[in-house]
């Protein structure tokens, strides 16, 4: 389906996209809590990643067979899917590692820096020229990071903070790839090829990290695969019905889930420094999303020109 003005999809349904994104964040937040639990059970991050993706493949094939046939997984862009899987595997390593290394609320808040990295990426890769609003938001976002991390205080492991920030950077990069793939491929296809290509990448490490597990740990690994798949399908679907700059506001609901799970499962609530830094980072992300939305709105004369052709 051809795109409309300024690349906006003709199937743009912003309210539906927001609802889908909200469900996606709940699913992914649940997966993060389960990943932390699996890490505390001694499961290596590479093995968590392997079972997370390996679980997805039969579930996706079964779902495709029941909802229109395997043919809907067909793609004309295998190279793009492989690249997305390569970057996605790096992103998974960093984001899963951050969840294990940091408290849930802090790891989640660091993820909120993805819009900040997106501005920097747009400047470096797309040669965009962000204005005062977005650069101010970037600066404020990094102030929020310093408030949470408190370098030198030992409040949280600095290596964990670095891993989390790297994961947020990859989220920004991967969002661009998913938005591009959504122009030609269905969300089911995008998620399927991510799993298909990433499993062999992670499997290389399995002989070095795998060990036997009890039934409870296997249950955690299965639940990680299911909740992650649901979250990823919904996340990809949200980008099919709305712009990244519009739906990203729902991502901040993850802090609610992280705080709830952190208190419920790990008996830990965020300290005052997190509550000071998190609103600054969230505010920076909202400013960036608002500016992206404003700048993406088509000129009225351009709309008239398109509608008149």
Q: What is the pLDDT of residue 86?
A: 96
In a domain, 165, yes or no: yes
Q: Is the dihedral of CA 212, 215, 217, 221 positive or negative?
A: positive
Quote the number of domains for the chain: 1
Q: Which domain holds residue 21?
A: 12-307
How far is residue 36's CA from residue 173's CA, in Å, rounded to a whole number?
A: 24
The candidate with the shortest Cα–Cα distance to 192, out of 17, 12, 55, is 55
Compute the C-alpha angle 147/99/28, nearest 5°.
110
The candidate with the shortest Cα–Cα distance to 239, out of 191, 167, 297, 170, is 191
Burial 74-108 (b: 16+ CB within 10 A, else e): ebebeebbbebbebbbbbbbbbbbbbbbbbbbbbb
Compute the C-alpha angle 60/114/25, nearest 5°.
45
Please enumerate in sequence order all residues whose Cβ is within 8 A of that of 214, keeping only pairs 6 or more positions apart, or say none. none
Q: What is the pLDDT of residue 117?
A: 84
> Which tokens in the block code for residue 308?
């008149």
Under DSSP, the state recorded for 184 is T
How far is residue 95 from each of residues 98, 101, 222, 241, 284, measured CA to CA in Å?
5, 10, 19, 25, 21
How far is residue 175's CA from residue 122's CA, in Å, rounded to a whole number?
A: 12
How far is residue 22 from each of residues 95, 179, 293, measured CA to CA in Å?
19, 18, 19
Q: Rg of the Cα trace of the chain?
A: 20
The candidate with the shortest Cα–Cα distance to 112, out of 90, 137, 136, 85, is 137
> Which tokens in the block code for residue 104?
């849930």
In a domain, 192, yes or no: yes
The pTM score is: 0.81
In a domain, 5, yes or no: no
Under DSSP, the state recorded for 9 is B
Q: What is the pLDDT of residue 3?
A: 39
Under DSSP, the state recorded for 152 is T
Per-residue pLDDT of the chain (309 residues; tens, 9 = 90+): 333 333 344 457 778 888 898 999 999 999 999 999 999 999 999 999 999 999 999 989 998 898 888 888 999 999 999 999 999 999 999 999 999 999 999 999 888 888 888 788 877 776 677 778 777 888 888 888 888 777 656 567 888 889 999 999 998 888 878 888 888 988 889 989 999 999 999 999 999 999 899 999 999 999 999 999 899 888 878 877 877 666 777 888 888 999 999 999 988 888 888 888 888 888 887 887 777 667 664 433 333 333 333
Crossing angle (nearest 10°) for helices 104-111 and 272-296: 20
How far is residue 92's CA from residue 42's CA, in Å, rounded to a whole number?
A: 18
Residue 119 in 3-state DSSP?
A: helix
Q: What is the pLDDT of residue 246?
A: 67
Q: What is the pLDDT of residue 154?
A: 59
The candidate with the shortest Cα–Cα distance to 177, out of 91, 252, 111, is 91
Question: Where do we find the tokens 């990295």?
Answer: 117
Q: What is the pLDDT of residue 7?
A: 39
How far is residue 113 from each of residues 35, 49, 76, 126, 255, measured CA to CA in Å?
21, 23, 33, 19, 13
> Which tokens in the block code for residue 272?
């005052």
> How many Å is the maximal CA-CA distance in the chain?
66
Burial 190-226 (b: 16+ CB within 10 A, else e): bbbbbbbbbbebbeebbeeeeeebeeeeeebbebbbb
In a domain, 105, yes or no: yes
């Amino acid at each position: 389906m051809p795109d409309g003005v300024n690349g906006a999809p003709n199937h743009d349904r912003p309210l539906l996209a927001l609802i889908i994104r909200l469900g996606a964040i709940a699913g992914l937040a649940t997966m993060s809590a389960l990943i932390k639990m699996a890490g505390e059970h001694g499961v290596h991050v590479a093995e968590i990643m392997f079972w997370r993706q390996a679980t997805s493949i039969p579930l996706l094939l079964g779902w495709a067979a029941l909802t229109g046939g395997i043919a809907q997984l067909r793609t004309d862009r295998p190279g793009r899917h492989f690249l997305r899987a390569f970057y996605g595997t790096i992103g998974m390593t960093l984001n899963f590692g951050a969840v294990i290394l940091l408290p849930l609320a802090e790891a989640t808040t660091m993820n909120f820096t993805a819009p900040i990295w997106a501005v920097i990426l747009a400047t470096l890769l797309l040669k965009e020229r962000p204005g005062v609003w977005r650069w101010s938001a970037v600066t404020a976002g990094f102030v929020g990071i310093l408030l949470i991390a408190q370098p030198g205080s030992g409040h949280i492991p600095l290596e964990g903070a670095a891993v989390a920030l790297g994961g947020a950077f990859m989220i920004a990069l991967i969002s661009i790839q998913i938005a591009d793939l959504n122009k030609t491929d269905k969300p089911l296809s995008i998620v399927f090829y991510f799993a298909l290509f990433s499993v062999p990448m992670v499997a290389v490490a399995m002989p070095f990290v795998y060990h036997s597990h009890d039934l409870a740990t296997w249950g955690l690994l299965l639940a990680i695969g299911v909740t992650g798949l649901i979250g990823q399908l919904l996340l990809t679907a949200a980008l099919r019905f709305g712009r990244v700059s519009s739906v990203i506001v729902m991502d901040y609901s993850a802090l609610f889930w992280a705080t709830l799970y952190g208190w419920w499962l790990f008996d830990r609530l965020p300290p005052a420094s997190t509550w000071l830094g998190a609103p600054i980072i969230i505010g920076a992300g909202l400013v960036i999303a608002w500016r992206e939305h404003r700048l993406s709105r088509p000129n009225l004369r351009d709309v008239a020109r398109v509608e008149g052709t």
